[in-house]
Amino acid sequence: MPEVLRIEQLTIDFLSAERIAAVREVSLQVSPGECLGIVGESGSGKSQTFMGALGLLPRSARATGSVRFEGREILDAPRAVLNKIRGSRLSMVFQDPMSSLTPHLRIGTQLAEVLVCHRGMSWRESELAALRMLDRVRVPESKRRLRQYPHQLSGGMRQRVMIAMGLLCEPALMIADEPTTALDVTVQAQIIDLLRTLRHEYGTAFVLISHDLAVVGGLADRILVMYAGRVVESAAARDLLRRPRHPYTAELLRCVPDLSGPPLERMPSLPGQPPDAAQPAAGCEFAPRCPFAVELCRAQRPPLRRLGPGEVACHFPLPS
Amino acid sequence: MSMNRGAMIALWILLGLVALSLAGPWLNPNTIDALDWSHVASSPALANAHWFGTDRLGRDLFVRTLEGTRMSLIVGLVASAVSLAVGVSYGAICGYFGGRTDYWMMRIVEILSGLPLIFFVIFLTVIFGRSEALLFVCIGAVGWLTMARIVRGQTLSVRRREFIEAAVASGAGPGRIIARHIIPNVLGPVIVYATLTVPQIILFESFLSFLGLGVQEPHASLGTLIAEGAVEMQGAPWILLVPGIFLAVLLLCLNIVGDGLRDRLAQEP
């Protein structure tokens, strides 16, 4: 089956006072209906990869490589082409639902506008479609909500509205960039539940970007771990969570608190800082923080290579 | 909406002045260009229907002052509307696109604001002759510059907010984003500045008319009336005082209302 999204050798540089390498030679594919999780800490380039793919980078950024969406090259595509795809075939949900809705427009107007723009539907039909969509994302009292303004809704409600907006045109792919980070834990669980249900109802492919392995692990079929702008490991979610092959993934997993075990003295954490993106290292970017690093790791960067069912970029992957 | 007490009083006085200037022709039997040779430069009196007196040609000052107030208000409102429309769209385009577009568009604004306005007006008057349309064009051509700067600054800060990024990611084009998502969000400071532009423009129009570059006889604006009155200041001070007081009250009220509006809108989040 052809991929919905295929990113090849995507590299993004920010050209400010110094050249900052945000994303390095990232390749990935998303199949129809698949849910791909992207995990990494702040600044690992996980969001920038998809911002670059959608043409949402600031002016100071340069992206090279290839991004094919439904077989069509969209990196550096003209704005008119992108505007046709964005919001209809390819939609995006942002981290902060508090500020992602325009404050002076009613919920109904904002939702309907997407259909009026992309489908050329009338305002009346669009509002009806918006109402049905609000019901599907489990917004209670959807009729009243249509007439309300964003500030009258709670955070979780607003994120549901954002998801509804993303699904209105039945996209082939929805990119959710940290959709639950700004919400409290109980609402987080509801949103994850909702995404899981919607995935089965619509058959939409999802890319779920998060720094939280627990969030991604509960939803994704396949997980991609990024560190310092590179993919360090990718595998089926089940394999990756059970048997991480890259030391970084293993360290991340160690940091997920386990409620079933005995109470901990202190939360485990990964010592050190991620490397400075302005000064690329010769060897493995994770070497300075890696408990297993040897001379080879500091001198030569390991390529991403196939290992068992997944891929890993490490000279000495952990045994399975 | 409620403003502070002073601003509300100013608003009512202002509305009263507007109503008076509109109703003016029906309140008094005299017309703006009728000459009354039996009362030349007569002082204000209730007896002879020249309530504010007459000027040195025997024209009724009450009717002429109201006519002048109306003219000043029209010039102020029309020129403000022109500067609002041009300034808001120009500033929003600058701020939204940024980069080179912004750079060159703002340089144009700076060049225009560097032109000496009076020479510009005299130059245009010499070429096209005196007309009220030209007066609107001249004042409007300059009034939008500051407005464009204000809107550009506001747009720069709104453009970085997440809902703009979300709109871009939903496939909205730049025209739609500027018109629907940016301009409504910068309207607060714009409205305040617009109310403060009206008195500036009225003052400027009066100044031009005082110099003889503005409104033509027999029509009057507060500026031409003050210019006439200044000549007769010693013999018939009311010819200067009546339009002078009208202008002062008008400007004061507009400024107080503008300030009140600013205080009111500044309280909102």
What is the 3-state secondary structure of A43-92?
A: CCCHHHHHHHHCCCCCCCEEEEEEEEECCEECCCCCHHHHHHHECCCEEE
CA distance A84 to A80: 6
pLDDT for position B47: 64
Collapsed DSSP state (helix, strand, coil) of residue B170: coil
- When CB atoms are compared, the residue of B161, B181, B184 closest to A99 is B161
Q: Does residue B78 lie within any of the structural domains?
A: yes
In the predicted structure, residue B235 carries a pLDDT above the cut 80: no
Residues 155-184 of B with CB under 8 A from A: 161-163, 165-174, 176, 180-181, 184
- Inter-chain touch B165–A82, beta carbons under 8 Å: no
**Which residues are within 8 A (CB) of A142 and not within 5 positions of it... i.e. 6 or more apart?**
A131, A134, A135
In the three-class reduction of DSSP (H, G, I as helix; E, B as strand; rest coil), residue B199 is classed as helix
Hey, are the CB atoms on B167 and A104 less than 8 Å from each other?
no
Identify the residue with better confidence: B261 or A222: A222
The SS3 of residue A262 is coil
Neighbour order of strands in the sheet with A305-307? A90-93, A173-177, A205-210, A35-39, A222-227, A230-236, A310-312, A305-307
For residue B256, what are the CA distances in angstroms to A315, B6, B7, B181?
A: 74, 7, 6, 31
Rounded CA separation A110/B63 (Å): 53
Which site among B101, B163, B164 would you substitute to test the A interface, given the most A Cβ atoms closer than 10 Å to its Cβ? B163
Q: Is the pLDDT of residue B183 over 90?
A: no
Residues of B in contact with A79 (CB under 8 A): 173-174
- Strand-strand pairing, A35-39 and A205-210: parallel
**CA–CA separation, A116 and A105 (whole Å):** 15
pLDDT at A183: 81
Categorize the per-residue pLDDT at B45 as very low, low, confident or very high, splitting at 50, 70 and 90.
low
Q: Are A192 and A158 in contact (CB under 8 A)?
A: no
Phi, psi dihedrals of residue A93, rounded to the nearest 5°: -115, 130
Please list the ranges in chain A whose pLDDT falls under 70: 1, 259
**Would you call A96 an interface residue with chain B, using a CB distance cutoff of 8 Å?**
yes
Burial A249-285 (b: 16+ CB within 10 A, else e): bbbbbeeeeeeeeeeeeeeeeeeeebbebeeeeebbb
Report the pLDDT averaged over residues B260-269.
Answer: 67
Residue with token string 């690329």: A280
Residue to test with chain A: of B103, B170, B182, most A Cβ within 10 A:
B170
pLDDT at B48: 66
Indicate the helix (H) or strand (E) that contains B162.
helix B162-169
The H or E element spanning position B87 is helix B61-97
A88 has a chain B CB within 8 A of its CB: yes
ipTM for the whole complex: 0.74
Tokens of B182: 């940016």
Tell me, yes or no, whether B160 lies in a domain: yes
> Is B34 part of any domain?
no
Lowest mean pLDDT among A176-185, B218-227, B258-267: B258-267
Q: Is the alpha carbon torsion for B16, B20, B23, B27 positive or negative?
A: positive
Q: Do A56 and B162 touch (CB under 8 A)?
A: no
CATH number of the domain that residue B262 is part of:
1.10.3720.10
> In chain B, which residues have their Cβ closer than 8 Å to the Cβ of A101?
163, 166
Q: Is B267 on the interface with A (CB under 8 A)?
A: no
pLDDT at B248 over 80: yes
- B36, part of any domain: no
Rounded distance, CA A309 to CA A311, Å? 7
The SS3 call for residue A10 is strand
Q: Is residue B32 part of a domain?
A: no
> Does B268 have pLDDT greater than 70?
no
pLDDT at B269: 42
Homologous superfamily of the A5-100+171-312 domain (CATH): P-loop containing nucleotide triphosphate hydrolases (3.40.50.300)
Chain A residues with CB inside 8 Å of B98's CB? Answer: 59
Query: Residue B239 belongs to what domain range?
Result: 62-267
- Beta carbon pairs, A and B, within 8 Å: 64
Asked if A87 lies within 8 A of B176 by C-beta distance, the reply is no
Section B174-195 average pLDDT: 85
B168/A86 touch (CB, cutoff 8 Å), yes or no: yes
| B99 contact residues in A (CB cutoff 8 A) | 59
Which residues from B are below 8 Å from A118, CB to CB? 171
Mapping DSSP to helix (H, G, I), strand (E, B) and coil, where does residue B175 land?
helix
CA nearest neighbour of B267 among B200, B211, B188: B188
DSSP output for B97-140: H-HHHHHHHHHHHHHHHHS-HHHHHHHHHHHH-S-HHHHHHHHH
Per-residue pLDDT, averaged over B65-94, amounts to: 87
Tokens of B119: 């020479």
Residue of A4, A1, A24, A26 whose CA lies nearest to A14: A24
- Domain definitions of chain A by residue range: 5-100+171-312
Decide if A144 touches B, using CB distance below 8 A: no
* Structure tokens given for A162: 């954002």
pLDDT over 60 at B94, yes or no: yes
Residue of B nearest to A114 (CA): B170
Question: pLDDT category, B247, cuts 50, 70, 90?
Answer: confident
Count how many domains chain B has. Answer: 1
